[in-house]
Amino acid sequence: MGKPRVPVKIVDWSEIVEWSRGLAARILESGWRPDLIVAVARGGFVPARLLCDFLDITDLLSVQSQHWVEAAKAAEKAILKYPYKVDASGRNVLVVDDIVDTGETLALAKRFIEREWGPREVRTAALQWISSVAKFKPDYYYIEVRDWTWFQYPWTRLEDLQQFIARIFREDERARGRILGEDELESLFREWYGVAPADFGDYWKLALDRLVEKGILERVNGGLKLLKR
């Protein structure tokens, strides 16, 4: 098998805990202490909550900054959804995301909090920083990624898998407009993403069932076909 079109690394829960603990250690080593942690929804929720535990922080809020609208496909720019104001005067705020890819989502959230919430200082943190493509470097990160990879986190397992499968049917000439048997689909999936459907466990069947329920795929003669584009 050659190089996948979209290299995927499946991340498990134990890695998330390990990385979050390591990230917390780096923050503590810097000597700076946050009073308030803000998760960048949705990817930053779990890392932010773990950091609250490791840093002994009780105040946790979130803002929703959105850039990736489909797994491994970028929107034109980041947007902030549901903006609101909080009095954070005199407080150190740590803004947390799971990964810094372009960096636009984290940078946007940081600017918004600085402008609207009146904090003493805002710093940023992420489990991973893709240094080869990011335009924004967080103040704290645990892992530097030099080669672009789609890190498939456990909290987006079903969502990403559905999008990965649908993308094959929409973009691969061998699948577009055809009925694919599951063996053929699994082979294309491995070729596209460099991981096997079996690596996702029960999520594979659940993703196929969900795509059929949504009317995106249709089961025909023992195979699957794209219904809507």
Asked if residue 2 is part of any domain, the answer here is no
The domain boundary residue, chosen from 151, 174, 192: 151
Indicate whether 116 and 40 sit together in one domain: yes
Asked if residue 75 is part of any domain, the answer here is yes
Helix, strand or coil for residue 183? helix
Q: What is the pLDDT along the chain (229 residues), one digit of tens a residue?
A: 568 999 999 999 999 999 999 999 999 999 999 999 999 999 999 999 999 999 999 999 999 976 555 555 555 567 788 888 999 999 999 999 999 988 889 999 999 999 999 999 999 999 999 999 999 999 999 999 999 899 999 999 999 999 999 999 999 999 998 999 999 999 999 999 999 999 999 999 999 999 999 999 999 999 999 996 5
Clarify whether residues 116 and 221 are in a common domain. no
Range of the domain at 95: 8-151
| CATH assignment of the domain containing 182 | 1.10.10
**What DSSP assignment string belongs to 210-229?**
HHHHTTSEEEETTEEEE---
Q: Are residues 131 and 165 in the same domain?
A: no
Contacts (Cβ under 8 Å, ≥6 apart) of 160 = 71, 150, 152
| Chain segment 143-183, per-residue pLDDT in tens | 999 998 999 999 999 999 999 999 999 999 999 989 999 99
Strands 121-130 and 140-145: parallel
In a domain, 1, yes or no: no
**Last residue of some domain: 151, 175, 208?**
151
> Considering the entire predicted model, what is its pTM?
0.89
